[in-house]
């Protein structure tokens, strides 16, 4: 495995070299004119993928890929000049010399195989969250992006909003003092049951084997689609994998977090195939410069931090609570509030210092053309995804993990390896 370049060191090297910052890189053939359109390949065409397509439709969409012929046909009607594929591997083989960048909006278990393959061809990549299906893949995606010097962005579009910027500025300004604890929760619950026993025929429009991709072979059943795959370990990562990249993004950004030292989790008894209805994950992060060590706790399903009741705070359905030495800051996607309110009644927020985003997708498009920066590049979103997915690893092995980020191992738990790095079906390896 390549040695992961530490972000600050890489930023310094990039700055010294006088080129674009933040692990975004440039196209192998050099930057385009801002007025020149990109040639894009789109892998996945419906639901979240359709929203992503809508954001990039101003470019040249020259290739479409979907394992569902119905969905592929609908997308093709909108982009009749685009070539169509069911297998993203064939798309990349056939179109390697005709595309500049790739948008990946598939189920979690095929994020890394598609994204890494595209990056190895020197293509810029926008990939939905979570960046990958397992911890090892997140590291590979991070390192491949750095090695290939391609422009990347993970689909955490909330990152582009003004509210997150104001929250980051408040935390960094010291408005609540040094932050030693963060609570993050999401009211969603992706949980499943036992594997279906029925084996109905595969619909004629569905390429089931291609949808399985790297996952272990199993009979088709409609329960897995269109979105219920999130409930199954072979394909998704439950509520933690689905939502934590959005909500944990905020403390990662505000507090300069990267790799945790320890991770432990609690939840109902582990089901071998499906994700739990609730989960609590406790992370310990080291000190960062002058910032103290941090304890971050994640809650999903119906679980919430006890501090909400103790401090008579609002029970927002999903939110982030920063706990500082001087006060607390509660935030979600669109709002934030300082507590105790009596202490901040006359508070004046710091000046806005983080520039507004031109849009999460637009930022990526512009960077592909100019070599400029993106804010959720894989150098940032890769470590975020690693930390998120380690919560599921800790839950499934049933013990606290002592994490050695450099070696990508839980030093006290060899059995965690099977969840850190999965096995792939033949033909689908990274």
Residue 312 domain flag: yes
Tokens of 142: 């991070």
In angstroms, the CA 296 to CA 183 distance is: 6
Average pLDDT, the chain: 93
Cβ-contact 374, 401 below 8 angstroms = no
Q: Could you give the maximum distance between any two Cα atoms of the chain, in Å?
A: 66
What count of other Cβ atoms lies within 10 Å of the Cβ of residue 13? 11
> In which domain, by residue range, is 25 found?
7-159+358-379
Q: Are residues 130 and 254 in the same domain?
A: no
Q: Are residues 173 and 287 in the same domain?
A: yes
Q: Are residues 127 and 11 in the same domain?
A: yes
Q: Are residues 148 and 276 in the same domain?
A: no
Confirm whether pTM is higher than 0.85: yes
Q: Are residues 370 and 272 in the same domain?
A: no
Q: Are residues 168 and 283 in the same domain?
A: yes
Provide the percentage of residues in the chain whose pLDDT is more than 70: 92
Residue 123 domain flag: yes
Residue 248 domain flag: yes
Cβ-contact 192, 231 below 8 angstroms = yes
Tokens of 108: 């979690």
Residue 428 domain flag: no
The DSSP result for 247-281, as a single string, is HTHHHHHHHT----SEEEEE-SPPPSSB--S-EEE
Successive 10-residue mean pLDDT values, the chain, 430 residues: 38 33 38 82 97 98 99 98 99 98 99 99 99 99 99 98 99 99 97 92 98 98 94 98 98 99 98 98 98 99 98 97 99 98 96 98 98 97 99 99 99 98 97
In angstroms, the CA 429 to CA 39 distance is: 26
173-226 pLDDT, tens digit each: 999 999 999 999 999 999 888 999 999 999 999 999 999 999 999 999 999 999
Cβ-contact 379, 179 below 8 angstroms = no
| CATH number of the domain where residue 372 is located | 3.40.50.720
* Domains held by the chain: number: 2
348-373 pLDDT, tens digit each: 999 999 999 999 999 999 999 999 99
């Amino acid at each position: 495995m390549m040695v992961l370049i530490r972000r600050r060191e890489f930023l310094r090297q990039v700055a010294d070299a006088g080129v674009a910052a933040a692990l975004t890189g440039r196209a192998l053939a050099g930057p385009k004119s801002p007025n020149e359109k990109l040639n894009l390949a789109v892998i996945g065409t419906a639901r979240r993928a359709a929203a992503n397509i809508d954001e990039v439709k101003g470019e040249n969409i020259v290739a479409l890929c979907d394992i569902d012929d119905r969905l592929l046909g609908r997308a093709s009607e909108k982009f009749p000049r685009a070539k169509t594929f069911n297998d993203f591997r064939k798309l990349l083989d056939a179109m390697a010399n005709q595309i500049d960048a790739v948008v990946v909006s598939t189920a979690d278990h095929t994020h890394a195989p598609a994204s890494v393959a595209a990056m190895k061809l020197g293509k810029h990549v926008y990939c939905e969250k979570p960046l990958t299906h397992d911890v090892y893949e997140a590291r590979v995606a991070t390192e491949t992006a750095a090695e290939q010097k391609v422009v990347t962005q993970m689909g955490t579009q909330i990152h582009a909003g003004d509210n997150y910027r104001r929250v980051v500025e408040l935390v960094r300004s010291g408005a609540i003092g040094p932050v030693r604890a963060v609570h993050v929760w999401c009211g969603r619950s992706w949980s499943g049951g036992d594997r279906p026993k029925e084996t109905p025929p595969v619909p004629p429009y569905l390429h089931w084997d291609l949808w399985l991709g790297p996952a272990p072979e199993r009979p088709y059943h409609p329960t897995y689609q269109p979105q219920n795959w999130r409930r199954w370990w072979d394909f998704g990562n439950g509520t933690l994998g689905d939502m934590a990249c959005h909500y944990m993004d905020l403390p990662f950004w505000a507090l300069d977090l990267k790799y945790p030292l320890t991770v432990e989790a609690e939840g109902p008894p582990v089901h071998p195939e499906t994700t739990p209805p609730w989960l609590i994950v406790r992370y310990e992060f080291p000190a960062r410069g002058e910032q103290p060590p941090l304890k971050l706790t994640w809650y999903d399903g119906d679980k919430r931090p006890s501090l909400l009741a103790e401090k008579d705070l609002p029970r927002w359905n999903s939110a982030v609570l920063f706990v500082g030495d001087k006060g607390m800051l509660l935030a979600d996607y669109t709002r934030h509030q300082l507590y105790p309110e009596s202490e901040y009644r006359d508070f004046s927020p710091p000046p806005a210092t983080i520039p507004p985003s031109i849009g999460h997708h637009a930022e990526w498009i512009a960077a592909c053309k100019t070599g400029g920066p993106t804010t959720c590049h894989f150098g940032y979103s890769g470590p975020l995804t690693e930390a998120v997915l380690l919560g599921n690893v800790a839950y499934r092995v049933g013990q606290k993990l002592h994490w050695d980020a450099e070696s990508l191992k839980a030093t006290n738990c060899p059995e965690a390896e099977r969840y850190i790095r999965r096995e792939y079906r033949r033909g689908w390896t990274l």
